[in-house]
Every structure is written in C-alpha cells, then in structure tokens.
C-alpha cells in the first residue's frame, strides 16, 4: 500500500521545515499556525509525493448564541473524515477529526472545516512548530446563557407536592420527585428546597 509510504514521505519533509506559529490571536495574544500557512506549506509536498486529501463531512451542528453586545453568534461543530489517498495505487487511509468555530456572519462552517483539516494534517504528519478564515484567529466574547424562567405558580404546586410526599419518608419524596416532569422550575425548586425536604423526610424515620 503506497499511501503509507506517501504519508511517511510528507511527514519527513515537514519535519525538516515545520510550520511556524507566525500569526497572533489579537484578543488573547497567543500565536498560532493559520490554515493558509498549512495549505501553503503542505500543498507542494503533497503534490510531489502523489498524496491527495479528500474531506467527507459526517455531521454538522450549529448553535446560535449571542455576543456580550447582543449580536448573533453562530457556533458550529463539524465531524469530518479525511481520506489520504495515494495517486499511485489508490490505497487510502482515513482520519476522522472534529472542527469547531464561531462567527457572527456566514463563515462559521468554513472556519470549522478549515480547523478540522488543519488539525488532521498536524496530527497525521506530526508537523512541528518551526524553530480570517481560521478559527484560531479570533476570540469571541460570549454572553452568558440567560437563567431559565421559573413559573411561580408551578413552583408552588411542585413544592407543595414534594412537602406532602416528604411526610411519608425519604423513599416517598424521591419517588414523587422522579414522577414530576422535568422542567427548569422543578430544578429550581429542588435546588432551593432539597435540604429542608430531605430533613423533613428523614425525621419520619427517626
């Protein structure tokens, strides 16, 4: 299988030159290797060794968030397989990885795909660090998730139900808690009152 010879040859070449962390994340100040740096360094080496890298997206998840200023922010995660194929005999090796990225417009998926490719290449070829389509280029300030709304009327009913069950002991309290449908209000009530409810239930056994 020629694919492994080609991968080894590419890795040997990249080990000599590496790719410098020549770019800087302006928000957090750390250096990184951009996707263009990887393409520019790796492209000619892949061509010389008759190795092609073909992506295949398995899944994509997009979550809409907000920045601290209230603007929309799209957080994308992609699961991608890359086929490393030898042009000489068609043999291949598949690498699976994930890419994550955020963007306030329509570039989040592109950035996530670029991140997946970059780190698949880094790991497959063991590319060392040399003595705005990149996910590492920007750090977004994300607004915290809003606290779940608690329905006061529902909270009062849940608390009354749990207190009623606590009179019959801890097992009855636990059974009643499980029987109540999950909701933010149920979670809030339990978080606030679980100590007193358990204490009341345990007194039944005393």
pLDDT tens digits for 106-116?
A: 889 999 999 99
Query: Is 110 a domain residue?
Result: yes
Confirm whether 40 is domain-assigned: yes
Q: 33 in a domain, yes or no?
A: yes
Each residue's pLDDT tens digit, 132-165: 444 555 555 666 666 667 788 888 899 999 998 8
Dump pLDDT digits (tens) for 35-60.
Answer: 788 888 899 999 999 999 999 999 99
State the residue range of the domain holding 79.
2-137
- Predicted local distance difference test score (pLDDT) of residue 133: 44
How many distinct structural domains can be found in the chain? 2
Q: Are 15 and 48 contained in the same domain? A: yes
DSSP string covering the chain: -HHHHHHHHHHHHHHHH-----EE-TTT--EE--HHHHHHHHHHHHHHTTEEEEEEEEEEEEEEEEBTTS-EEEEEEEEEEEEEEETTT--EEEEEEEEEEEESSS-HHHHHHHHHHHHHHHHHTTPPPP----GGG----BPPPPPPP--HHHHHHHHHHHHHHHTT-HHHHHHHHHHSPP-HHHHHHHHHHHHHHHHHHHHHH-
Q: 0.85 cut: is pTM over it?
A: no
Q: Is residue 9 domain-shared with residue 62, that is, in the same domain? A: yes
> Do both 127 and 177 map to the same domain?
no
């Amino acid at each position: 299988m020629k694919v492994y010879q080609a991968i080894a040859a590419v890795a040997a070449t990249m080990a000599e030159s590496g790719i410098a962390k020549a770019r800087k994340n302006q928000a957090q100040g750390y250096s990184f290797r951009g996707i263009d740096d990887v393409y520019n360094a790796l492209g000619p080496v892949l061509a010389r060794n008759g190795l092609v890298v073909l992506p295949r997206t398995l899944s994509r998840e997009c979550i809409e968030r907000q920045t601290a200023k209230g603007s929309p922010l799209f957080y994308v995660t992609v699961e991608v397989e890359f086929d490393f194929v030898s042009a000489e005999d068609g043999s291949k090796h598949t690498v699976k990885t994930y890419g994550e990225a955020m963007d306030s417009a329509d570039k989040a998926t592109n950035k996530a795909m670029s991140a997946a490719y970059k780190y698949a290449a880094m790991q497959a070829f063991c590319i060392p660090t040399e003595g705005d389509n990149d996910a590492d280029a920007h750090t977004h300030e994300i607004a915290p998730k809003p606290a779940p709304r608690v329905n006061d009327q529902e909270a009062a009913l849940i608390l009354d139900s749990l207190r009623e069950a606590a009179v019959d002991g801890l097992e009855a309290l636990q059974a009643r808690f499980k029987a109540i449908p999950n909701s933010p209000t149920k979670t809030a009530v339990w978080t606030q009152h679980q100590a007193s409810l358990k204490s009341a239930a345990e007194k039944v056994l005393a």
